[in-house]
Structure 1
Amino acid sequence: MNDKQKEMLRKVASLAGLLLLVLVFSMTNEYFFTFNNILSVGLQTSTITLIGIGATVVILTGGIDLSTGSVMALAGVSAALAANAGVPVPISMVFGVFIGGLCGFTNGIIVTIMRLPPFIATLGMMMVARGLALYITNAAPVSGMPESFGELGNGALFRMVEIGDDGFPIVTFTGIPYPVIIMIFVVILFTFALSKLKTGRYIYAIGSNEEAARLSGIKTNKVKNYAYIASGLLSGLAGVIVASRLITAQPNGGIAAELDAIASAVVGGTSLSGGVGTIPGALIGSFIIGVLRNGLNMNGVSAFVQQIIIGLVIIVTVGLDQLRQVKKTQKSPKNQPKQKQEKSK
């Protein structure tokens, strides 16, 4: 079985797991597989998908980003404060996304120029971004934004509303939520970038063997910077969407979001050692987490038990990935001469 067949098998396995979850929850709760609940799952999962894609891109280079949740909070409060200061809502939201990208750029500089391990660099950014979010808001939620601030997170395309006999509006079709549309667009964009553009191929090359990629002429530092910037921008976008949905920006928001991001990437087939993974896989992984939470909630399972179940899923998935890596290393041609030499001795 070649590498492409193995990659396809991983995708099929993840998709089969998602379909199995949908089947199980559909059998245990009659309201699970309904149009409204499907849209609800899509809306809840959209932000996980966005940050999961950012985590996937970074992990593909062999790095990690632990600052996702804090960057989401900082981007959300930055956009909210800008809107309250009189900046037009669209510009204030773009400003929030820009703040996320700036955090990602800083992560990239620390990792590539200062040569700090990604774990330490992004851990530091996690604390800095969270501290900034708390400092500029005095640790208080930001509210009072214009009504249009909530349109991005709560609006929907093709929503149909009729006025009833009592004069009150009746929603005849909820429409497709804007966050879901943004999620689909980002999935298509990054799938194209990683599969068709040079930068995408370079990201895979760096994750597979950074030194070989550097010797082949790839500007590894520049490409890794792009990966961290992408993660920061997507974290900022997710933070703005969450603030728009709540019409309140929480400086304490996004706690543990980085775990959801990494989990969706890993569950979707991305290898923590880098070089292996896809954007559709991250999409499937995020929906596995979203469906798990939604289905368990509808069946009255405690939030604490949900954490245990999702944690076990992550442990099993990473364990299987590590087992694959061990087998791959043992089968590597580089190890064959050593094994022969040991046998001859």
Structure 2
Amino acid sequence: MDLSLTSIRSKGKQLNMSAEMFHKLSAFLTLMILIIVFAFGNAAFLSVNNGLTVLLQTSVIGLLGIGMTLVIITGGIDLSVGSVLALSGTVTGMLVKSGMPVVPAMLIGVLVGAACGLFNGFVITKMKITPFVATLGMMLIARGVALQLTGAAPISRLGEAFGVLGNGALFRVVEQGANGFPRVVFPGIPYPAILLVIVALAGGYLLRRRRLGRHIYATGSNEEAARLAGVEVDRTKITAYALSGALAGLAGIVLMSRLVTAQPNEGVMYELDAIAAAVVGGASLMGGVGNISGTMLGAFIIGVLRNGLNMAGVSAFIQQIIIGFVVILAVYIDQLRNRK
């Protein structure tokens, strides 16, 4: 029986939605399994303090992952996010050290990240250089600038105000103990976790409800068809890379604020975690597929995996190997899905 074009499109959309839901469910079950396994291995894994540690670690991965998701959906990749994170955090630390108020310094740090992203987008769209090579170049440039500005030395003594974003918490309850020292009754919700939720909601709204989001999906699905349909493909790509850079800058500020020290060497290999979070969460490296909620699940999988392995005493080198295998497996599953 012949099917109309509308019917075929409807069935295709239903299949895509079913695949998306299946991938999210698989990611959620994987997260639950990891939590159960690590909880049996170490009773302290389910403690409140460790839960807050996971939230803090995941906030940086999640911010990077959201920006990476936008880029991957367009069919690109951003290998520079770790170095941009370091550069933005370093610039912010230098400005605060020079006497600038914390909030304006942090805003400038985010703008530095956005500028790096704009440069990536310009090189990719106007100079016609592949995203892999363009962002690899920016990875080296941003890291080199950060090291040159600081002489490869950390910037410390940035003051309590600089550490509020990374170490503060909402609804924290502290009371005076019997010994005269303060006692934390409820540690509160960390500001980085709240920031991640806000950015994730904004990213989801952008992709699902705004024209730019539809253009991002269209560009990644079929760039030529999107161009013929009136989508400004170059502008869409540049915007996606600028947002990725800005979020990398924001992640750098959160991380440096947690340390209360600007470290130009921070962020090494963070691009791997960001890509892993996006791909594990269902984003396709072929473009056109991905969502923020899936990336959040992927970020928590990576965060829980790293935290659990740390508590189990697994070395950082073995962790890199495991995360690498996770990325390969996720990409392989994505290829199987595309072939189907």
Distance 1:193 1:2 in 2: 23
1:55-94 mapped onto 2 (5 Å cutoff): 55-94=68-107
1:155 match: 168
- Which one of the candidate residues 50, 55, 60 is aligned to 1:37? 50
Distance 1:211 1:307 in 2: 38
Distance 2:180 2:16 in 1: 62
1:126 match: 139
What is the number of residues matched between the two proteins? 327
Could you say what secondary structure the match of 2:185 adopts?
A: strand
Q: Which moved more, 1:31-40 or 1:96-105?
A: 31-40
In structure 2, what residue type is equivalent to 1:108?
A: G
1:170 match: 183
Distance 1:122 1:313 in 2: 23
Could you say what secondary structure the match of 2:243 adopts?
A: helix
In structure 2, what residue type is equivalent to 1:247?
A: V
2:259 match: 246
Are residue 314 (structure 1) and residue 322 (structure 2) matched?
Answer: no
1:332 match: none
2:118 match: 105
Q: Which moved more, 1:159-168 or 1:52-61?
A: 159-168
1:211 match: 224
- The Cα of 1:24 is off from its aligned counterpart by 1.3
2:9 match: none
1:23 match: 36
Distance 2:93 2:157 in 1: 9
1:194 match: 207
2:299 match: 286
1:340 match: none
Distance 2:87 2:147 in 1: 8
Q: Which moved more, 1:75-84 or 1:30-39?
A: 30-39
- The Cα of 1:30 is off from its aligned counterpart by 1.2
- The Cα of 1:171 is off from its aligned counterpart by 1.1
Distance 1:2 1:109 in 2: 35
1:269 match: 282
2:10 match: none
What percentage of residue pairs aligned between the two structures are identical? 55
* CA-to-aligned-CA distance 1:41-80 (integer Å, 9 cap, x gap): 1111100000011111000000010100110000001000
- The Cα of 1:242 is off from its aligned counterpart by 0.7
Q: What's the TM-score, normalizing by structure 2? A: 0.94
* CA-to-aligned-CA distance 1:83-111 (integer Å, 9 cap, x gap): 01111111111111110011011111111
1:338 match: none
Q: Which moved more, 1:233-242 or 1:22-31?
A: 22-31
2:11 match: none
Distance 2:64 2:58 in 1: 10
- The Cα of 1:206 is off from its aligned counterpart by 0.5
Distance 1:301 1:252 in 2: 23
Distance 1:37 1:141 in 2: 27
- The Cα of 1:36 is off from its aligned counterpart by 2.2
* CA-to-aligned-CA distance 1:185-211 (integer Å, 9 cap, x gap): 011110111011111011011100000
1:181 match: 194
Distance 1:303 1:34 in 2: 23
2:64 match: 51
1:336 match: none
In structure 1, what residue type is equivalent to 2:82?
A: G
Distance 2:216 2:122 in 1: 17
Q: What's the TM-score, normalizing by structure 1? A: 0.93
Query: Where in structure 1 are there 5+ consecutive unaligned residues?
Result: 328-345
Could you say what secondary structure the match of 1:31 adopts?
A: helix
Distance 1:143 1:157 in 2: 26
Could you say what secondary structure the match of 2:46 adopts?
A: coil
2:337 match: 324
Query: Where in structure 2 are there 5+ consecutive unaligned residues?
Result: 1-13
Distance 1:159 1:117 in 2: 47
Distance 1:110 1:190 in 2: 24
- The Cα of 1:119 is off from its aligned counterpart by 0.8
- Which one of the candidate residues 26, 41, 61 is aligned to 1:13? 26
